[in-house]
Amino acid sequence: MSISQELYKELILEHSQNPSHCPNKCGHLSNPTVVQEGVNRSCGDEVELEILIEGDKISSIRVESRGCSISLASGSMMADAVEGMSIREARHLIERFKAMIITGEALNLLEFEKLGEIREKLGELEVLEDLEAFRGVHKYPIRVKCATLVWSTLEQALNQSKIKETYRYEKT
């Protein structure tokens, strides 16, 4: 096993044992714009997202996960990455993350720098780099849904009409 694979394994373990943005630790959102549940029946993973949209941004997110360590870690790192992002950028990241999990291709962080909306801070790029920890999952098709569940659930949440209404309302 290469050094980076070991670091990635450690990162996934860390996040699964101490997930960020979980309501047990941070409290539930008092006025989420949308609440969305997701289930991965093949493994038994469950997730509930609470999202507050302000303007065109995901200003707060909570992730309540039950399931295997890959699903817990994916939820934790997803929340770290998308909190503060614009809806447009989050959609782009969902697409890139899913492509990485299915094909094993890199996230291509340069693209995010080009989007240039909030990526200027180095700390935020590190959060994105951490997501590459899941790149090896494509070799284990049975675990793909464990890694993508929370991202698909986020996508469903962003597709809800409530969010589109908020977004439109704030824009005009």
Nearer to Zn ion, 53 or 146 (CB): 146
Maximal CA-CA distance, the chain: 53
* Integer angstrom CA distances of residue 67 from 43, 51, 91: 8, 21, 24
Q: How far is the CB of 14 from Zn ion (least distance, A)?
A: 17
CA distances from 47 to 63, 70, 107, 169, 170 (A): 7, 12, 24, 29, 28
C-beta closer to Zn ion: residue 98 or 119? 98
Helices (H), the chain: 3-17, 23-26, 69-82, 87-103, 109-115, 122-130, 144-159, 161-171
Least Cβ distance, residue 40 to Zn ion (angstroms): 6
Binding residues for Zn ion (CB under 5 A): 43, 45, 67-68, 71, 146
User: Minimum distance from CB of 121 to Zn ion (Å)?
Assistant: 32
Closer CB to Zn ion, residue 112 or residue 151? Answer: 151
Task: Pick between residue 72 and residue 85 the one whose CB is nearest to Zn ion.
Answer: 72
Closest contact distance (angstroms) between CB of 99 and Zn ion is 20
